[in-house]
Chains A and B, each alone.
Chain A
Amino acid sequence: MDMNEIKEIFFQECEEQLAELESGLLKLNDGDRDPETVNAVFRAVHSIKGGAGAFGLDDLVSFAHVFETTLDCVRSNRLDPGPEVLKVMLKSADVLADLTNAARDGGSVDEARSRQLIKELEALANGEVPQASAAPEPVAKAAPVAVAPVVNDEGFQPVAFSFDDFEADEPALIDMPTYEIVFKPKSDLYAKGNEATLLLRDLSRLGEMSIHCDMDALPALDRLSPESAYFAWKISLKTDKGEDAIRTVFEFAEWDCDLEVTLVAGEAAAPGEELPMQPVPFDLSILDDEPAVSVGVIEEEEQLAAQQEIRDAAVSAAATASNVLQMAQSANRAPAEKSAGAAASAAAQSAAAQQAAASAATPTIRVDLDRVDRLINLVGELVINQAMLSQSVVENDANGTSSINMGLEELQQLTREIQDSVMAIRAQPVKPVFQRMSRIVREIADMTGKSVRLITEGENTEVDKTVIDKLAEPLTHMIRNAVDHGLETPEKRLAAGKSAEGTVRLTAKHRSGRIVIELADDGAGINREKVRQKAIDNDLIAADANLSDEEIDNLIFHAGFSTADKISDISGRGVGMDVVKRSIQALGGRINISSKPGHGSIFTMSLPLTLAVLDGMVVTVANQTLVVPLTAIVETLQPEAAAIHSFGSNQRLISIRNSFCPLVDVGRILNFRASQANPVEGVALLVESEGGGQRALMVDAIQGQRQVVIKSLEANYTHVPGIAAATILGDGRVALILDVDTIVAASRGHSLKPEMSLAAAG
């Protein structure tokens, strides 16, 4: 994995965090005051900032930083997330998303907008809470010296010196400043996993060092507390790295030790002169007997040679401290701090356990979509292959040895299960698409000056990823439409006795093997007079046409239809509802509108859950094998002659349980045959069509029900009206899958246009 891949992951993660951020903010907007929601929102921004910092995405970092600061005020209850505050935050979330996209795709962002929001965010952080700090303090100043009485910077004057005077590789020892360092660890230093040994080791890397271990505080063994710190070190260090470098070594330990760093005059430490203290070798083995130390003085001329030895000695002296700590652990003495924090941490743990139970997320892995698609394709082939195998076994061995048949049945079941499982991999909740819509709503609400509330339901309803991906565009357009055309202005709403705030409700649910998405607004509903007039003006209908309310409503799906007096900036992007309808149909879906004047409109879309397989009824029509999607079929029946009634010139009706239903001759519609088939010899499939009405499709015979793998006809041949796709059957033959809605629609016009029909296609 290289940085580019990690960057890719970062942007993927950003998307998730942005979604998390938005849904959290929306929850807060709905009055949710759960601290965990605020935390999640904060974390999202925080995470984006963290990653962005690593990649040097400065614009993103600085915006995220201001945003985070304001969120921190909310988190610490210094700022109440009221509607006005959340409005700014939601806009900020949008800008953050824009900045992220710009960082990824190199686009530009509306800088004025982000500057404006930075101001607003800062105002929130500062204005309402004057004492809140908008920017974190710099690192160096941040560390409060909690316990360091010995550290005393007073009177200490850093001595300016120039690095130019020194050779980097061979520092002139004589000219180097010498520091005297007194380092006395406290017990906490060890308890927090710091190690005097390692600190001294680091220190020794800065320059020439001599060290003295002060063991005066070490009590007799029987009074020795194994977890306490008794040693102190006095160090003389010649270094050109400066005091900061020395303090940096103790950065992690400074609270848990007494530390004194003093510059002994820059030229004071020449060999031969008396050092502030003498380096001392010592023998740690004596610790075993008694806490006394024998100290020897090293002769000056030996000093340099002894340096390494001294360092080693110091290191091992420090090591004792940690050995002691380990001893204590094995001795299993109850350490004081253990019981001290026990109650608090027990509480923390149980709280954590509760949280864990609440959000028990199952582990997930991320897989390339290509791999999943490949798998789906293979499973499709497997299904076809299994069907072919079954068929050839049946044909070649009519009696069928039971073991083979049983094996085949099991194979069939397993194949089916594999297929379902593989399909489930692609299934994803519609949540991301729904979430995107809330931003669309906000933007249009802003542009139109309307006040809109988007309510989403069933966000976790799952559907094939392809369907989700293709859903965003039509849905966006419909939402725009609903806010722009559907909802009234606040004044009009109030005048109509409604609340000033309009509601748009987006719902997803599963219904009989399809996903149904509903978009409802509580606006004025379709203005039928206006629609009708417009349709007449555009020559869509005759001036005297007698249309039902439903038919008028559905006129808005006609090409080029727009009721807005003036094409507005929002809806009028050259995309009409006809395009929406076509993209839904391209997904194998249907769309309907129902509207109540004064109460709003409801758009209902019904889409297949997957575009890869389909449960179908295999039928014969004029010696052709066709597949009818099972979801469309309500029931099948064998018509009796008495039930068939002629109607008009060429139409027939079938009476089913005292109601009449148009009879559609599929063979005739598809131009498979010139004359009408005799209904009594065939089978009628009662189907539910787009408009909700029922039709009886006439076919010659039913072969059976089967799950079929959908193979696109467009991709392999060309689009054929009345045909949705093709499939390969068990015997290896290609069968066409019927597009029931088109067939039904065509039946009103008697037949599909001949030049586009199957007869022409061969």
Chain B
Amino acid sequence: MKKRVLTVDDSRTIRNMLLVTLNNAGFETIQAEDGVEGLEVLEEANPDVIVTDINMPRLDGFGFIEGVRKNDRYRAIPILVLTTESDAEKKNRARQAGATGWIVKPFDPTKLIDAIERVTA
């Protein structure tokens, strides 16, 4: 069965890149545009892994991760943070919010797939 990936990113460019990369790698991809939408579609999307941006309108990545972790069904789901922020503070905050790992932009398909493979069975 195909693994399902929920991506949360407000940038259309990045959303499209994620979609193309993930589909090519044989994942099923569900997309949301910000944290609020991400939480809204979570149940229905029923993902195996989540990839989320940090800087987003309405609800940022930190809030989104916390929201996911509060959901009993998904509180142990792997969540990867897509971020250009390579500074320690951001990563630390994402980690504290419950992120499993991160992918540092610029977006690199290989890195993305590697990271997903690393956190999913």
Whether B63 pairs with A348 at a CB distance below 8 angstroms is yes
Of chain A, the residue at the smallest CB distance from B49 is A193
Partner of A142, one of B10, B56, B91, B98: B91
Interface of A (DSSP majority class): helix
Whether B76 pairs with A193 at a CB distance below 8 angstroms is yes
Whether B106 pairs with A54 at a CB distance below 8 angstroms is yes
Most chain B beta carbons < 10 A, residue from A2, A144, A192, A342: A192
Whether B105 pairs with A54 at a CB distance below 8 angstroms is yes
Whether B13 pairs with A51 at a CB distance below 8 angstroms is yes
- A341 to B96 alpha-carbon distance, docked (Å): 11
Whether A194 pairs with B67 at a CB distance below 8 angstroms is no
Of chain B, the residue at the smallest CB distance from A138 is B86
Q: For residue A326, which residues in chain B have a CB less than 8 angstroms away from its CB?
A: 76
Q: How far is the CB of A282 from chain B (nearest CB, A)?
A: 21
Stretch at the interface among A97-105, A195-203, A705-713: A195-203
Of chain B, the residue at the smallest CB distance from A54 is B107
Whether B70 pairs with A338 at a CB distance below 8 angstroms is yes
Q: How far is the CB of A482 from chain B (nearest CB, A)?
A: 35
Whether B100 pairs with A252 at a CB distance below 8 angstroms is yes
Q: For residue B20, which residues in chain A have a CB less than 8 angstroms away from its CB?
A: 1-3, 6
Whether A198 pairs with B57 at a CB distance below 8 angstroms is no
Q: For residue B120, which residues in chain A have a CB less than 8 angstroms away from its CB?
A: 198
- A54 to B106 alpha-carbon distance, docked (Å): 5
Q: For residue A5, which residues in chain B have a CB less than 8 angstroms away from its CB?
A: 16
How many B residues touch the partner, as a band?
35 or more
Report how many residues on chain A are interfacial, defined by Cβ distance under 8 Å.
59
Q: For residue A62, which residues in chain B have a CB less than 8 angstroms away from its CB?
A: none
Q: For residue B46, which residues in chain A have a CB less than 8 angstroms away from its CB?
A: none
Q: For residue B121, which residues in chain A have a CB less than 8 angstroms away from its CB?
A: 195, 197-198
- A160 to B106 alpha-carbon distance, docked (Å): 31
Q: Cβ of B6 < 8 Å from any Cβ of A?
A: no
Whether A9 pairs with B16 at a CB distance below 8 angstroms is yes
Residues 27-43 of B contacting A (Cβ, < 8 Å) = 35-36
Whether B88 pairs with A356 at a CB distance below 8 angstroms is no
Q: For residue A249, which residues in chain B have a CB less than 8 angstroms away from its CB?
A: 118
Most chain A beta carbons < 10 A, residue from B35, B86, B107: B86
Whether B79 pairs with A345 at a CB distance below 8 angstroms is no
Q: How far is the CB of A8 from chain B (nearest CB, A)?
A: 10
Residues 531-554 of A contacting B (Cβ, < 8 Å) = none
Q: Cβ of B72 < 8 Å from any Cβ of A?
A: yes
Residues of A within 8 A of B (CB): 1-3, 5-6, 9-10, 12-13, 39-40, 42-43, 46-47, 49-51, 53-54, 56, 61, 136-139, 141-144, 146, 190-195, 197-198, 202, 249, 251-252, 255, 322, 325-326, 329, 338, 341-342, 344-345, 348-349, 352, 355-356, 359
Residues of B within 8 A of A (CB): 10-14, 16-17, 19-20, 35-36, 55-59, 63, 66-67, 69-70, 72, 75-79, 84-88, 91-92, 95, 98-102, 104-107, 118-121
